[in-house]
Structure 1
Amino acid sequence: MAAPALVLLPEWGSGHLMSMLESCKRVLLSGGGGGRAFSITLLVMRPPTAEATSEVEAHARREAASGLDIRFHRLPAVEPPADAIGVEEFIARYIGLHAPHVRDALAGMARPVAALVLDMFAAPLVDVARDLGVPSYVFMSSTGAMLAFMLHLPVLHEAGAAEFDEVEGPVEVPGLPPVPPASVPCPVVDKKSPNYTWFVRLGDRFMDATGIIANTAEGLEPGPLAAVAGGRSVPGRAAPPVYPIGPVLSLGDRSPSHECVAWLDAQPPASVVFLCFGSMGWFEPAQVVEITAALERCGHRFLWVLRGPPSSATGAGAPDGSEHPTDTNLDELLPEGFLERTKGRGLVWPTWAPQKDILAHPAVGGFVTHGGWNSVLESLWHGVPMAPWPLYAEQHLNAFELVADMGVAVPLRVDRKRDNFVEAAELERAVRSLMGSEGEEGRKAREKAAEMKAVCRDAVAGGGSSHAALQRLAEALHDGAAIPKK
């Protein structure tokens, strides 16, 4: 009999697509023991922008050349919703429009289907899998804390909770320390927004899946994972089994000859603070001035990836929020004389940089990051403490967890009402603390980050918690594989 197929429906953004694909490749390579194998069929939606389409096709070409049993099924194009108000609403609605095509693709499979693996924004498509007699798994590319929050959000909604930005006390989420309103994920702050409505719906539909695959580890997030497994997220209703198989990172492609890495080679160990803000992070000129003042005054060595605004920033922008920053003209954006005054101890890099290789370098001692989960996992894998500077999506909750729950980061006061603005003095304080020139917070964060480095690596090693979860998942997938109904 042909190997059962894992059929994947990822959101097209690299942080979602590659995290899901790398996770399911681990399942493919594990075989679940006994030499049993899987194949992967990735259902490719046409992204709503040309830039995203180009990225997805590049990923497809690379994986097609990997030699693994990975196939790509391109779904028919659909017309994007023209009246979506928020990014998250647009993504969820656009994916939902593909439901008939996903059904046709599954029904046309000639081999058994182990499961339909759905991006978190595609959770309502559990109905498609159920109607065809196929197991469905939601893939959580974010934190266990975000999973616990999303599962509990419908409970909060039914209880008639006030607007998150209006409540005086913290938000109680089982498995997490009390969450300050300022740390609630961006899409749900305004209960009147379609984004909020969609997140309530998504959290509810997670509960209808056969299981949840999470890119985290028990040792990283024991509180929220235990709360979900123990039925505390949705009282009176058992959650699907969660398989924390992370950290799942693509660490194979290295750029040892990159100019940033060569510059780090000349720096002392743990002496450089690295500032990088993800594939969509950029700052207005006024914020750039504050950052330069902080870096100049703190005296520490730094490597700063400084990107310019997206090319569409002056127009409507990409409907799914996937526009990427542009390369920066440093002479235009940086204050006059900054590069000369910091020459020898700082490097400002105006384009893409190999973040994984930089975090792996022994010269890097701290990371000022937007707090996207993939970036966080890369930092923890290498034991680098952080100062989280959240910008969008669930990153405010991530920042709270890194500081208050994991203890691997120093706090950075971000003015959420001023578009996440950070004053120079505050960034200077955080960098000094992070790099060890003052305060106990930084020392504790460095110690905890070193501990979490061991936790990450032990989890995925043979006999580790994530390795065991992967084996359980592979067995469950084999046991549930079925020929789809027509």
Structure 2
Amino acid sequence: MATPAPALVLLPEWGSGHLMSMLESSKRVLLTNGGRDFSITLLIMRPPTDEATSEVEAHVRREAASGLDIRFHRLPAVEPPADAVGVEEFIARYIQLHAPNVRDAVAGMGCPVAALVLDMFAAPMVDVARDLGVPSYVFMSSTGAMLALMLHLPVLHELVTVEFDEVDGEVDVPGLPPLPPASMPCPVVDKKSPNYTWFMHLGDRFMDATGIIANTTDELEPGPLAAIANGRCVPGRTAPPVYPIGPVLSLGSGNAKKDNPDPPHGCIAWLDGQPPASVVFLCFGSMGWFEAPQVVEITTALELSGHRFLWVLRGPPAAESGAGAPDGSEHPTDANLDELLPGGFLERTKGKGMVWPTWAPQKDILAHPTVGGFVTHCGWNSVLESLWYGVPMAPWPLYAEQHLNAFELVAAMGVAVPLKVDTKRGNFVEAAELERAVRSLMGGGTEEGRKAREKAAEMKAVCRKAVADGGSSQAALQRLSKALHDGAALPKK
């Protein structure tokens, strides 16, 4: 009887950006040598909200039908922590409560385990892997810059004795240009909060992993990745090897014209009638929505800019379906355009603009040749999609690590025009500022806009070269595959 292939055992956080990014990365490992070397077992935690549970189950059904060697193991339910103060604290503590069940699941595998691959919020479970005698890898679904910051945060804690927004000047993060305090990630701006304490703890536990798998490339983020490798993030300690195998994107499209008998999505059909590179696309992720005063500022900016636009506008979360969710997954509702938009806006912009009030196929929109710019919340998956298609950005960060991502896009990568976001007013943007950024982004004659468009086109080629045969990400994937194969072990009981 043939020896079963070693298993990659995955423990993702339930959010789509975490789960699908980890799964797609692991599928790349699975397919590296024709799918013969590994199998995948996905450990599924029951999410703390019904809406998140429905999303996870939809992903599971789709992957179960893919034909790949992916197995699904549902972990027993646990009681969520009732006293968590912040979102990140809740997620980390809720995941940690699953540790005994994760241990039982891995110990019960009837084959060698190549690795327990942990979401960044599950990093403390490196102890579970160590106790079982199997390797552990942290999967970083965010940027190399965020990874460098998390590793460096315990050092910064000792060096910076005041709150970061009280720093006189910039914050020094190895591998990055001097960082304005306002660009620090939301979970670490308040040192007194449990979120901050957890992020320090998570970064410290990254150092105990066998390796770190990162959804980025050497060429996109050379500074942070080099700073980690040469020991500048954690002086005196050697960081685990980092495997930058990105950009990892699920590029399958249900709206592509080729071999698809269905009519195109409404957004795509509208884009089909626009001139090349003429449309600015505004979209703010699965949890992005705005109050009415901000909506008015956006409408004013779009009218005054004179540019064609496609705007995905969502309404506030419904109280009975996610508002106040303990894990922060407050999903917007479909927007009521009559209530949110100023009177006459749709009539005045008819033919030149479209406001779409529900989910939209972002990857297909960014791939469309009529899209010339992207106003984005700077979620890392959205950024990678934009770079893959060479679309320059105007960053409008809202939460999580997005303010750091926005800074990196402008100051380090040069693929975006700056947008002044007032963090003290809930990330508010004035109409005149958005109008200026849209004009610059779409070819308004500014030097920063021209450079962002040129750099975005350059990064499109860089991303595609990285994942092609002989590319840097492909080489990292080969190194990772070998390390996984060499480290596979039967778990201890």
TM-score (normalizing by structure 2): 0.97
Q: Which residue of 2 aligns with 1:24?
A: 26
Counterpart residue identity of residue 7, structure 1: V
Q: Which residue of 2 aligns with 1:240?
A: 240
Instruction: Provide Cα deviations, 1:126-155, integer angstroms capped at 9, x if missing partner.
Output: 000001101000000000000001000011
Q: CA deviation at 1:312?
A: 2.6
Q: Residue 281 of structure 2 aligns to a residue in which SS?
A: strand
Matches of 1:130 and 1:212, distance apart in 2: 15
Q: CA deviation at 1:255?
A: 1.4
Q: Which residue of 2 aligns with 1:14?
A: 16
Q: CA deviation at 1:158?
A: 2.8
Q: Which residue of 2 aligns with 1:106?
A: 106
TM-aligned CA distance change 1:384 to 1:86, over 3 Å = same
Matches of 2:323 and 2:292, distance apart in 1: 20
Q: Which residue of 1 aligns with 2:331?
A: 324
5 Å-filtered alignment, 1:234-383, equals 234-256=234-256, 257-312=264-319, 317-383=324-390
Q: Which residue of 2 aligns with 1:399?
A: 406
Matches of 2:361 and 2:219, distance apart in 1: 27
Matches of 1:171 and 1:67, distance apart in 2: 48
Q: CA deviation at 1:423?
A: 0.1
Instruction: Provide Cα deviations, 1:435-458, integer angstroms capped at 9, x if missing partner.
Output: 012311100000000000000000
Instruction: Provide Cα deviations, 1:71-126, integer angstroms capped at 9, x if missing partner.
Output: 00000000000000100000000000000000000110110000000000000000
Matches of 1:126 and 1:37, distance apart in 2: 23
- Asked if structure 2 preserves the Cα contact closer than 8 Å seen for 1:328 and 1:351, the reply is yes
Q: CA deviation at 1:160?
A: 4.6
Q: Residue 333 of structure 2 aligns to a residue in which SS?
A: coil
Q: CA deviation at 1:159?
A: 2.9
Superposed CA RMSD in Å reads: 1.1
Counterpart residue identity of residue 10, structure 2: L
Matches of 1:430 and 1:234, distance apart in 2: 37
Counterpart residue identity of residue 89, structure 2: E
Q: Which residue of 2 aligns with 1:50?
A: 50
Q: Which residue of 2 aligns with 1:128?
A: 128
- Asked if structure 2 preserves the Cα contact closer than 8 Å seen for 1:163 and 1:191, the reply is yes
Q: Does 1:216 align with 2:220?
A: no
TM-aligned CA distance change 1:173 to 1:4, over 3 Å = same
User: Any gaps of 5 or more consecutive residues in structure 1?
Assistant: none
Counterpart residue identity of residue 67, structure 2: G
Q: Which residue of 2 aligns with 1:409?
A: 416
Matches of 1:200 and 1:239, distance apart in 2: 15
Matches of 1:160 and 1:279, distance apart in 2: 34
Matches of 2:320 and 2:277, distance apart in 1: 36
Q: CA deviation at 1:314?
A: 10
Matches of 2:353 and 2:309, distance apart in 1: 5
Q: Which residue of 2 aligns with 1:4?
A: 6
Matches of 1:424 and 1:159, distance apart in 2: 39
Q: Does 1:158 align with 2:165?
A: no
Counterpart residue identity of residue 343, structure 1: K
TM-aligned CA distance change 1:413 to 1:160, over 3 Å = closer
- Asked if structure 2 preserves the Cα contact closer than 8 Å seen for 1:312 and 1:318, the reply is no
Q: Residue 315 of structure 2 aligns to a residue in which SS?
A: coil
Q: CA deviation at 1:254?
A: 3.0
Matches of 2:397 and 2:323, distance apart in 1: 23
Instruction: Provide Cα deviations, 1:174-209, integer angstroms capped at 9, x if missing partner.
Output: 100010000000000000000000000000000000
Q: Residue 40 of structure 1 aligns to a residue in which SS?
A: strand
Matches of 1:313 and 1:396, distance apart in 2: 30
Matches of 1:429 and 1:195, distance apart in 2: 35
Counterpart residue identity of residue 411, structure 2: A
Q: CA deviation at 1:253?
A: 2.3
Query: Identity of aligned pairs, percent?
Result: 85
Matches of 2:57 and 2:322, distance apart in 1: 26
- Asked if structure 2 preserves the Cα contact closer than 8 Å seen for 1:301 and 1:346, the reply is yes
TM-aligned CA distance change 1:313 to 1:228, over 3 Å = farther
Matches of 1:466 and 1:206, distance apart in 2: 21
Counterpart residue identity of residue 442, structure 2: M
Q: CA deviation at 1:385?
A: 0.1
Matches of 1:316 and 1:77, distance apart in 2: 22
Instruction: Provide Cα deviations, 1:37-71, integer angstroms capped at 9, x if missing partner.
Output: 10000000000000000111111111111110100
Which deviates further from its counterpart, 221-230 or 313-322?
313-322
Q: CA deviation at 1:323?
A: 2.0
Matches of 1:138 and 1:180, distance apart in 2: 28
Matches of 2:384 and 2:319, distance apart in 1: 30
Q: Residue 324 of structure 1 aligns to a residue in which SS?
A: coil
Match of 1:467 among 441, 455, 474: 474
Which deviates further from its counterpart, 423-432 or 305-314?
305-314
Matches of 1:42 and 1:313, distance apart in 2: 30
TM-aligned CA distance change 1:313 to 1:403, over 3 Å = farther
Q: CA deviation at 1:36?
A: 4.3
Counterpart residue identity of residue 69, structure 1: D
5 Å-filtered alignment, 1:77-116, equals 77-116=77-116
Counterpart residue identity of residue 399, structure 2: Y
Matches of 1:224 and 1:313, distance apart in 2: 42
- Asked if structure 1 preserves the Cα contact closer than 8 Å seen for 2:30 and 2:36, the reply is no
- Asked if structure 1 preserves the Cα contact closer than 8 Å seen for 2:322 and 2:329, the reply is no
- Asked if structure 2 preserves the Cα contact closer than 8 Å seen for 1:40 and 1:69, the reply is yes
User: How many equivalent residue pairs?
Assistant: 484
Counterpart residue identity of residue 137, structure 1: Y
- Asked if structure 2 preserves the Cα contact closer than 8 Å seen for 1:3 and 1:111, the reply is yes
Matches of 2:323 and 2:190, distance apart in 1: 22
Matches of 2:318 and 2:489, distance apart in 1: 46
User: Any gaps of 5 or more consecutive residues in structure 2?
Assistant: 257-263
